[in-house]
Amino acid sequence: MMMKRQIGTLCGFFVISLLFPLLASLLLRNTLLIWIFLILEVGSLCAFCILRFQDLVLLLQSRQTRYGTNVAISVLSVVGLAIFTNLIVLKRFDHVIDLTGEKWYTLSTQTQKVIRQLNQPVEVKAFFSQNPSSEREKRDYDRAKELLKMYQRASDKINVSFIDTFTEVQTVEKYEIRNNGTLVFESKEKQKREFVSTVDEQKFTSALLKITRDIEQRVYFLVGHGERSTDDFSINGYNQAKEELEKQNYVVYDLSLTSQRRVPPDCSALIIAAPKRPLSENELGSIERYMNRSGKIMVMLDPTSFEQSDQSQGLIDLLARWGVQVSNDYVVILDRRFFSAFGGPATPVLMNFDFHPITQHLVRPTVVFQLTRSVFANTEGLKKRISVQPLAKLPDFDSSICWGETEQSSWQKAKYDQAQDTAGPISIAVAVESEANSRIVVVGDADFASNQFFSSTSGGEFFLGSTGWLTMEGDLISIRPIDPRSRSLRNITAREQIMIQLVAVFLIPFLISIVGFAVWWKRR
């Protein structure tokens, strides 16, 4: 009998001891070890129950066990009631009180209005790695979770799901996600998708408006003069630009002004991508009339050979009347930090851009301009009330380091000539906005948005950002960004520091001692 009790006690010891390796195996996710320790644990527990059965019966019949059982039942009842109450509150009264001074955790009034008007379900898929590799990715992931939770709390028509970009590969491929941190807003009812690459309330709310509204945005590409084609799949073509515009819910058309006398009234933006032959006077007139009636236009002009006249002179003269000076040159920069190793000094690479709605959300601010003209603002003598802002400027180097070459067709022979060449600092792209709400983007190169550079650099983002600004997609809703004012505490004085030390080190322990002495005196 004694031997039976001792073996039972040993089995009980094994039950407790085996819990630790079993938990360690669960944490390590080692299936073989989990099964081995689980079998040993169950076997030891069964042996203990059989060998010490009478002791277990006596324990269960004891007064302490009954009291302990009653306490356990009471505790479980209270915990269960608390959980049940919390579930009801969470389901029926899910309200959050934002006590921050800047209302970091409150959606803007404009966003709340848009959400209240939702009459169809919206799916939001956030493509983030569950293990961010950088501090910026982690910050964006946390902010996206918090912001989307606010959207979801505001409407039961918004369904949010987070997709791990590394484990859920099929979903990533289905939505053709290229960058970690991309969000997809999708309306199954209207069969529309909107891709957002920035964690920002204004971007999220604008995406909701885009996929739920009935207005169709039409983008026209001018054709008939050797422009870059949206049907061209070669490295110089614009097929990828067309596909990405269509993903952004634009409808893309070709426009020939030789067969059509004017730019269509439904044109949201007109894109002229590097024409190789001159436009006729009638075509230029149609474009200017379109611009005068609040038109939106993007002009990309590649450099031309110095041996022949500039084929784009008509367009250049038209742009000059809108405060844009396009030079007949190509930019040369001799600083190795700012040109491509493959293209040489005639292929500037920009990594810093002037602040503008077009450039403020570039994820990877690196755009390659392969053989580009210089483009400047020149509003002197203009009667129109317009604003011309540089978008892409090279650093303020001496003109012997960075200039616009106007004589030598080969950069190897090029050397700055103060009398002939364009002096620095050099600008490559500008944005124009008139009082009548006309908008123009002029870039001295068309290669940055070609199939070769669209996805491999930020050229595609720059192109899409320009199109969005032209069509005022970014202005669908204007939300003032929160101003993160400093909330630092003032420094305490020496006297306040002494008082804190006296209270913490002497006064509080003294009061506790007095209470303890009083209790002892009462019970003695």
* Interval 149-198: pLDDT, tens: 989 888 889 999 999 988 898 999 988 888 888 999 998 887 888 888 88
Q: How far apart, in whole angstroms, are the C-alpha atoms of residue 481 and residue 202?
A: 9
Q: How far is CA 453 from CA 370, 394, 463, in A?
A: 10, 19, 11
Residue with tokens 């069509």: 471
Where does the pLDDT of residue 486 fall: very low under 50, low under 70, confident under 90, or very high at 90 and above? Answer: very low
387 torsion bin: left (phi>0), alpha (psi -120 to 50), beta (else): beta
Q: What is the pLDDT of residue 483?
A: 47
Q: What is the pLDDT of residue 230?
A: 93
Q: How far apart, in whole angstroms, are the C-alpha atoms of residue 126 and residue 146?
A: 12
Q: Encoding tokens for residue 416? A: 């700055």
pTM for the whole structure: 0.62
Q: If residue 147 lies in a helix (H) or strand (E), which one and from where to where?
A: helix 135-154
Q: Is 36 exposed, middle or buried (0-12, 13-18, 19+ CB in 10 A)?
A: middle
The CATH architecture assigned to 109-208 reads 3-Layer(aba) Sandwich (3.40)
Contacts 24+ apart (CB under 8 A), 502-511: none
Q: How far apart, in whole angstroms, are the C-alpha atoms of residue 358 and residue 467?
A: 9
* Interval 258-278: pLDDT, tens: 888 899 999 999 999 999 999
Specify the fold of 217-475.
Rossmann fold (3.40.50)
Report whether pLDDT(510) > 60: yes
Q: How far apart, in whole angstroms, are the C-alpha atoms of residue 360 and residue 135?
A: 20
Domain boundaries, the chain: 2-91, 109-208, 217-475
> Quick check: 349 and 338 in contact, CB under 8 A?
yes
Residue with tokens 């422009």: 227
Where does the pLDDT of residue 201 fall: very low under 50, low under 70, confident under 90, or very high at 90 and above? Answer: confident
